[in-house]
Structure 1
């Protein structure tokens, strides 16, 4: 890792280092409401390999995390059916921040404030490398998605819709 690219620690990077998970750091120029299209463009990678960390809740307001390809949307109906809930909906930004400890746009599934179940779109695990938020806006980490299963309570689901 080049010294100039080093970004200060976040709860996510601390968590990964503590658990011995290899990752690369990829800072980029964050744009408000730019989403994964901006980060993919800035890093010069396919948006399908940029993974969104979405904080959602079920009908009894229990929080959960969904990891989804940047170029796909979550079918909340399909997700709810697969995880045995009546309904799933995105949390309001302030609620998501309270659960995760991160600002929306900088949410990482690693080192969250609350332990939450983590659902991952099954095809994410088929990729060799993904780019996922490192715990700060404008900062992604490159990681082997299979290594996430060793440190996160991952459950594979199929709930992607084309964007």
Structure 2
């Protein structure tokens, strides 16, 4: 996989600055698509279990965290709460997610967010040489090794998908 400059979203710029190898994969996003992640998997010709979505959660006691799960699965809120050491988590308001990350819903990348948040990658990612995550805008995914994603985000691996 070659390192490619893709025109510069915060995610690609962060990966470039860290010297992390990735491949930018683009597709023509349909605004009417029911699921951004499943659309990406289909148009890129990649199995849905290798394409991961980025979700933000509110933690009890305040604060936010990032959960990264395959697009064909759901985030287990109890599991991510346990992974970050709190009792409960709930899905964050989409407007809050956009404001905090600097990205738009459907294009929220776990990489290059405005501020670092606790990040948890579903452990199913460890079964693949590479996975795809949003590159910071709709129609752009980044293919990279799961361990490189963890390095770029300071994240941890845990069973958070169901």
CA shift for structure 1 position 6: 7.0
Map 1:8-157 onto structure 2 (within 5 A). 8-32=7-31, 33-157=34-158
Residue 36 (structure 1) shift? 1.3
Q: Compute the TM-score of the two structures, normalised by the length of structure 2.
A: 0.90
Count of matched residue pairs: 159
- Greater fraction strand: 1
Rounded Cα–Cα distance in structure 2 between residues aligned with 1:153 and 1:124: 15
Measured in 2, the distance between the counterparts of 1:29 and 1:77 equals 35
Tell me: CA distance 1:77–1:14, structure 2 relative to 1, closer, same or farther (3 Å).
Answer: same
Range moving further from structure 2, 95-104 or 32-41: 32-41
**Can you give the 5+ residue segments of structure 2 that lack an aligned partner in the other structure?**
none
Answer whether contact 1:55 1:96 (CA < 8 A) is retained: yes
Q: Which runs of 5+ in 1 are unaligned?
A: none
> What TM-score do you get using the length of structure 1 for normalisation?
0.90
User: What do you get for the CA RMSD once the two structures are aligned?
Assistant: 1.9
Which residue does 1:158 correspond to in 2?
A: 159
- List structure 1 runs of 4+ shifted beyond 3 angstroms: none
Classify the secondary structure of the residue corresponding to 1:105: coil
